[in-house]
Amino acid sequence: MRKLQLDELGRASVEEFIQTDKTPIVVVLDNIRSAHNVGSVFRTADGFAIEKIVLTGITAQPPHREIHKTAIGATESMPWEYVENVVDAVKDLERGGYRILIAEQTDSSIPLDEISVAADDKIAIVLGNEVNGVSDEVIALFETSVEIPQFGTKHSFNVAVSTGILLWEISSKLRSV
């Protein structure tokens, strides 16, 4: 066995990537404090070829040195937009036909592995602040929250790690229906 070199991976150029069909998922970042987390989400979103990232509230925006450090160029390939108010962002996505999934531990959250998707689903995943989670105003608007099952002593995963887990599970399901 040997590790593959970058030129052996067959990845698309940024220009080619921009033209390719995307998985119909939008990630909404609700007041994320760490620009490193934001950069990691950009890189992960590129890896899963999702449609777009929506940054809200205090979430840092490119160009930003700390985002650039962890995104490693994904801010050039991933479409993104900034919407000041997260409620406005999710309502707009809902009006656009997106099914809103709130990544949060609630009294009615559904374990991630139990979420079902249809072939024509467009999904927006809302991920919240590292300390306070998804804004209460957003939680009050929707009935579906999804929770990543955990088996240790900690109460949550890092937001960037959560993004990777959520995108893997949901994009896998969308690609197989």
| Residue 143: per-residue pLDDT | 84
Q: How do residues 84-141 score in pLDDT, each as one tens digit?
A: 999 999 999 999 999 999 999 999 999 999 999 999 999 999 999 999 999 999 999 9
Could you write out the three-class secondary structure of 87-149?
HHHHHHHHHCCCEEEEECCCCCCEEHHHCCCCCCCCEEEEEEECCCECCHHHHCCCCCEEECC
CA 3 to chain centre: 29
Domain 14-176 has CATH 3.40.50.300: no
Domains of the chain by residue range: 14-176
Torsion sign across C-alpha atoms 96, 125, 171, 107 = negative
Q: How do residues 31-64 score in pLDDT, each as one tens digit?
A: 999 999 999 999 999 999 999 999 999 999 999 9
Among 164, 138, 130, CA closest to 58: 130
DSSP state of 7: G
pTM of the model: 0.97
